[in-house]
């Protein structure tokens, strides 16, 4: 008889990227690569590939709630990641579910604009994310432009500026903050984590590649996967391994030729690098 496997479960609440590089697809691949069982609640469908977003079909908020109820009434979820939310009604539906608990620690990636420049959140919904969702999640992971929007400030232009904005967001909301440094320049990509135990800098060599589509989704999903695997650990312990997984997927993604965007704009990461035979 085979042994029972008590697998940790992570939930992603996010949009579908038909091209497979970002959104729910990146999240589920990341969960699987961590040995975590992935459940998913879709907020929007995008017609998307490595060149950009060609269309968005928002899921009615009532059906987002139906999916959340179906998952949370049946499956014990150990951690949740939230990505694309599309509009204010979907934000409200997701905020209701988060306020109701049951999804473990919650990581919010406040997705606003895709790497390709296409909008993924109605500008009218930004206030709802800031007021209704941000204060009730456990970790928020904005990139540099998103941190500025959440603070209603100009984007930071250097590491000290990012550190100041991460501190300010934490002090305003009480939610731990990881501001991602991919949009700055320099030999390292530095992410700044600020939480109850102070500041942690995550420094990794900047990879010379245009295949960066889905990096933000992958990092937030890896953080949720780590939280599902290690209940009770602080974000400062979970962030290093999550960032290492992303770095390996970025490095391996340089050899993954999926879609024309790899040469022209935004190719995907290689989430399954650990499963591939060398050479």
Ligand X SMILES: Cc1ncc(COP(=O)(O)O)c(N)n1
Give the residue numbers annotated as catalytic, written as ranges: 180, 212, 214-217
Can you tell me whether residue 266 is helix, strand or coil?
coil
Nearest CA among 84, 88, 89, 83 for reference residue 63: 89
* Residues contacting 167, CB < 8 A, separation 6+: 194, 199
From 44-52, 87-95, 206-214, 270-278, span contacting ligand ATP (CB under 6 A) = 206-214
**Angle between the N-to-C axes of helices 23-33 and 235-253, in degrees from 0 to 180, rounded to the nearest 10:** 110
Can you tell me whether residue 153 is helix, strand or coil?
coil
d(CA 23, CA 13): 9
CA distances to 18, 107, 113, 140, 220 from 79, rounded to whole Å, are: 24, 8, 24, 14, 11
Tell me the closest approach of the beta carbon of residue 115 to ligand X, in angstroms: 4
The single residue among 58, 217, 228, 229 that binds ligand ATP, judged by CB under 6 A, is: 217
Q: Does residue number 250 form part of the binding site for ligand ATP (CB under 6 A)?
A: yes
Nearest CA among 230, 235, 14 for reference residue 110: 14
d(CA 18, CA 122): 20
Tell me the closest approach of the beta carbon of residue 220 to ligand ATP, in angstroms: 8
Which 219-238 positions form the footprint of ligand ATP (CB under 6 A)? 219
Tell me the closest approach of the beta carbon of residue 116 to ligand ATP, in angstroms: 9
Residue closer to ligand ATP by CB (options 80, 115) is 115
Contact partner at residue 46 from ligand X, ligand ATP, none, CB < 5 to 8 Å by partner kind: ligand X
* Residues contacting 5, CB < 8 A, separation 6+: none
d(CA 249, CA 230): 21
Q: Does residue number 207 form part of the binding site for ligand ATP (CB under 6 A)?
A: yes
Q: What secondary structure letter does DSSP report for 104?
A: -
From 32-40, 82-90, 121-129, 216-224, span contacting ligand ATP (CB under 6 A) = 216-224
Contact partner at residue 84 from ligand X, ligand ATP, none, CB < 5 to 8 Å by partner kind: ligand X
Q: Does residue number 105 form part of the binding site for ligand ATP (CB under 6 A)?
A: no
Q: Does residue number 120 form part of the binding site for ligand ATP (CB under 6 A)?
A: no
Residue closer to ligand X by CB (options 98, 111) is 111
Please report, as ranges, the residues that interact with ligand X according to CB under 6 A. Answer: 14-17, 22-23, 46, 48, 83-84, 111, 114-115, 120, 213-217
The CA-based angle 264-270-273, given to 5 degrees, is 150
Label the pairing between strands 79-82 and 106-108. parallel
* Block residue for tokens 């928002």: 58
Which 3-22 positions form the footprint of ligand ATP (CB under 6 A)? none
* Block residue for tokens 């204010």: 88
Site string for ligand ATP, 168-197 (x = CB under 6 A): ------------xxxx-----x-x------
From 33-41, 56-64, 85-93, 212-220, span contacting ligand ATP (CB under 6 A) = 212-220
Q: Using CB under 6 A, list all residues that contact ligand ATP.
A: 115, 143, 180-183, 189, 191, 204, 206-207, 212, 214-217, 219, 243, 246, 250
């Amino acid at each position: 008889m085979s042994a029972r496997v008590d697998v940790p479960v992570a939930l992603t609440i996010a949009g579908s990227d038909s091209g497979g590089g970002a959104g729910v697809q990146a999240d589920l691949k990341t969960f699987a690569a961590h040995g975590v069982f992935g459940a998913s609640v879709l907020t929007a469908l995008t017609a998307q590939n490595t060149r950009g977003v060609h269309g968005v079909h928002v899921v009615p908020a009532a059906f987002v709630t139906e999916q959340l109820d179906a998952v949370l009434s049946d499956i014990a979820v150990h951690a949740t990641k939230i990505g694309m939310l599309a509009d204010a009604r979907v934000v409200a539906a997701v905020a209701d579910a988060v306020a109701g608990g049951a999804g473990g620690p919650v990581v919010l990636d406040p997705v606003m604009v895709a790497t390709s420049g296409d909008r993924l959140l109605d500008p009218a919904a930004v206030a709802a994310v800031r007021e209704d969702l941000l204060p009730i999640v456990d970790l928020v992971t904005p990139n540099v432009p998103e941190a500025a929007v959440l603070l209603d400030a100009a984007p930071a232009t250097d590491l000290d500026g990012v550190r100041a904005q991460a501190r300010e967001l934490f002090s305003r909301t009480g939610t731990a903050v990881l501001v991602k440094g991919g949009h700055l320049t320099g030999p390292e990509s530095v992410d700044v984590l600020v939480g109850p135990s102070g500041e942690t800098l995550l420094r990794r060599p900047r990879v010379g590649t245009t295949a960066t589509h889905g990096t933000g989704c992958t990092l937030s999903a890896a953080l949720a996967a780590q939280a599902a695997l290690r209940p009770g650990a602080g974000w400062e312990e979970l962030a290093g391994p999550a960032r290492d997984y992303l770095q390996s997927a970025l490095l391996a993604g340089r050899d993954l030729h999926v879609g024309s965007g790899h040469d022209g704009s935004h190719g995907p990461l290689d989430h399954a690098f650990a499963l591939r035979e060398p050479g």
